[in-house]
Amino acid sequence: MGNTSSMLTQYDIEEVQDHCNHTFSQQEIVSLYQRFCQLDRSGGGFISADEFLSVPEFAVNPLSQRLLKMLYGLNFKEFVAFLSAFSSRATLQQKIEFIFKVYDSDCNGKVAFSDMLDVLRDLTGQFISEQQREQVLTHVLEESGYTKDSLLSISDFMKTLWNSDLKMDVEVPVD
């Protein structure tokens, strides 16, 4: 396990639980702490990009670079808050908010055509030309009543994704 010798006290667990709005149980937080310490090999209190990329399953994910920017420098409390959207106790609203944050890389509350194009490029790679990507994106945007120049807000995302079958749950293994 990790090199940090500090154990989580009951106070720590409750503080973390508060910070993530009780989306994780106390046992899950203890498991997440063990995992955090396991990944944080250098013991710096946060997991570096290299340490994340040492997990092959994460390194092969098309959105890994985007997520690494969001995970940069997070301490344990913030790490749990980051993962809270994936808990089965999280609301659909919280999950959609997380997806919005992934798109909104400059955190200005608006998602532009270029943001959506960036994510689509990560997901499709070299298998579709840039031109085709723009065409497809423009096409589906116009079908939903937006244009290429529209700036989508969080409420637009809520409206679009509310009825979709969003499945974004990850189980935290508890010993």
Report in angstroms how near the CB of residue 151 gets to other proteins at its nearest: 14
For other proteins, give the closer residue by CB, 108 or 129: 129
| HEC assignment per residue over the chain | CCCCCCCCCHHHHHHHHHHCCCCCCHHHHHHHHHHHHHHCCCCCCCCCHHHHHCCHHHHCCCCHHHHHHHHCCCCHHHHHHHHHHHCCCCCHHHHHHHHHHHHCCCCCCCECHHHHHHHHHHHHHHHCCHHHHHHHHHHHHHHCCCCCCCCECHHHHHHHHCCCCCCCCCCCCCC
Does 38 engage in binding with other proteins (CB under 8 A)? Answer: yes
Report in angstroms how near the CB of residue 52 gets to other proteins at its nearest: 7
Binders in 111-150 for other proteins, by CB under 8 A: 116, 119-120, 123-129, 132, 136-137, 139-141, 143-144, 146
Contact 110, 152 (CB under 8 A): yes
Binders in 59-118 for other proteins, by CB under 8 A: 59-64, 67, 83, 86, 95, 98-99, 102-103, 116
Q: Which amino acid is at 58?
A: F
Using the contact rule CB under 8 A, the part of the chain among 6-14, 15-23, 157-165 near other proteins is 157-165
Report in angstroms how near the CB of residue 91 gets to other proteins at its nearest: 14
Does 167 engage in binding with other proteins (CB under 8 A)? Answer: yes
Which positions lie near other proteins, rule CB under 8 A? 1, 32, 35, 38-39, 52-64, 67, 83, 86, 95, 98-99, 102-103, 116, 119-120, 123-129, 132, 136-137, 139-141, 143-144, 146, 157, 160-161, 163-164, 166-170, 172-173
